[in-house]
Amino acid sequence: MKQFSNRYIFIFATVMVAIVALILSAAALLLQPLQQKNAEIEKKRNILASVGVEATEETAENLYDQFITGSFAINSEAERVEGADPFYVDVRKEQKKPLEEQVFPIFEASLEDGSKSYIMPLEGKGLWGPIYGYISIKEDMRTISGVTFDHKSETPGLGAEINEGWFEAQFVDKKLFEDEEFVSILVQKGGAGEDDPHAVDAISGGTITSKALESMLYNCLVNYVEFLKKNSQ
Amino acid sequence: MSTEKEREPLFSAKNLKLLREPLGENNPITVQVLGICSALAVTAKLKPSVVMAISVVVVLSVSNVIVSLFRKSVPPRIRIIFQLVVIAMMVILVDQVLKAFAFEVSKQLSVFVGLIITNCIIMGRLEGFAMANKPWESFLDGVGNAAGYGLILIIVGFFREFLGSGTVFGYPVIDKIGLYNIGYENNGFMILPPMALVTVGIIIWIQRSRNRNLVDKS
């Protein structure tokens, strides 16, 4: 076998690493704008889905501009905060800050039938990884008009069902408040009563994901309770 | 083998064998039983299986060529590191390109694209073939082996999606035929990873019963 000096090995390794680093950073820089665009389109599609507007990759931008008429952020006291663009607020990062420093984005949607909805992002921990979604609330600030969920790595066929239409459809017209008290939505194992305004059916075989979703709803929405109460009167 | 310097045609019988063998009698999954874990993970649907297959073809063929080009200048003592760096670079590139141009699919494949790095087929081919052969042969070997891997992925993906979700490429075949109306139900079991193992097992069984040479003598 050919012998290589230590010097050669060092030089070879250094040059190799430098070249690879160059190629990778060039690729990352070139592709970054496209990737960010994709992530934004994905977010817009999800926001639109929560008010029942189906958008494709191509139509998302236009539909978003058409239906989402405003956005703002509030703090935990339900006062509006200026500054950061609500669209770019990273909810997962916000949740790690102390409560007083967190901001909570809200998107306003004006639909074709003239009704208005308020859309809030949701962010939580599932069984295997993060789960997230958007919830839209009608003008009365009490009734859900739609939800959309997604997940990173829940079990296919079980917990992963949270992003299926049948599961999300259950949330429509459920109430977040019992009189003036915030009760959120319960995800009930064994099935929720048909006329129960505060509960939906859990996914059989996906109990942990269902429970995680329930606490995600509560933990995220509890920060909006002040805002919802204030604006309903 | 003769030592004459005559140039070999690009697709000589020997070279074609490099392409063909891994598809059948020397398939990396069913015969060498390598790369099983990713075969289990991504095959719940057909589309990710196909994208995964294409990604592995790209990664393996290009890495094979790169390693083969440098096979004489790589110090043997750091050759494994060199191979790993090449694979890792290719995988990151593929991942970035997917994120930019096929976002939906890259979301479905999520972590598994990154895990191509750990796919033992790839390192096996680099170390076992590209380090000792010319670039063109290495390229064919890479395409052949990755295609053999991809072929099994696609077969498994087809059956799992068809039996588990009743669709093919997302198209609701069973619904269209109307089987649901006579009481047919999707087998949710097929979507879970263990059934991929069983499916691969069945493929191995069929292959070995047709080709007795593959059966272990012991």
- Give the ipTM: 0.73
* pTM for this prediction: 0.75
Q: How confident is the model at residue B208 (pLDDT cuts 50, 70, 90)?
A: confident
pLDDT of amino acid B3: 46
Average the pLDDT over each of A37-46, A102-111, B53-62, B102-111 and give the range with the smallest value.
Answer: B102-111
pLDDT of amino acid B202: 92
pLDDT tens digits, residue range B14-54? 778 888 888 877 888 888 788 787 778 778 888 888 888 88
pLDDT tens digits, residue range A141-184? 889 999 999 888 787 667 888 888 888 999 999 999 888 888 88
B89 and A1 in contact by Cβ < 8 A? Answer: no
Instruction: Spell out the domain ranges in chain A.
Output: 46-232
How is residue B31 annotated by DSSP?
T
Nearest CA in chain B to A56: B104
Cα angle: B150, vertex B153, B154; to 5 degrees: 90
pLDDT tens digits, residue range B137-156? 999 999 999 999 999 999 99
Looking from the CA of A21 toward its CB, the CA atoms found within 13 Å total 6
Q: What are the beta bridge partners of residue A109? A: A68, A117
Is the Cβ–Cβ distance between A136 and A118 less than 8 Å? yes
Rounded distance between C-alpha atoms, residue A48 and residue A40, angstroms: 12
Give the A window 152-181 contacts with B, CB below 8 Å: 152-153, 155-157
Count Cβ atoms below 10 Å from residue A231 Cβ, excluding itself: 12
pLDDT of amino acid A214: 92
pLDDT tens digits, residue range A27-37? 999 999 998 99
Tokens 């204030």, residue located: A230
Q: What sign has the CA pseudo-torsion B201, B203, B207, B213? A: negative
B191 and A35 in contact by Cβ < 8 A? Answer: no
pLDDT at residue A232 greater than cutoff 50 = yes
Rounded to an integer, the average pLDDT of A65-92 is 85
Instruction: Spell out the domain ranges in chain B.
Output: 27-208
Tokens 């083969």, residue located: B68
The minimum CA-CA distance between B173 and chain A, rounded to whole Å, is 19
Cβ-based neighbours of B119, under 8 Å, separated by 6 or more: B34, B35, B38, B56
Q: Does B172 touch chain A (CB under 8 A)?
A: no
**At A177, which helix (H) or strand (E)?**
strand A177-178
Tokens 């009930």, residue located: A188
Helix (H, G, I), strand (E, B) or coil at A146: strand
Q: How confident is the model at residue B2 (pLDDT cuts 50, 70, 90)?
A: very low
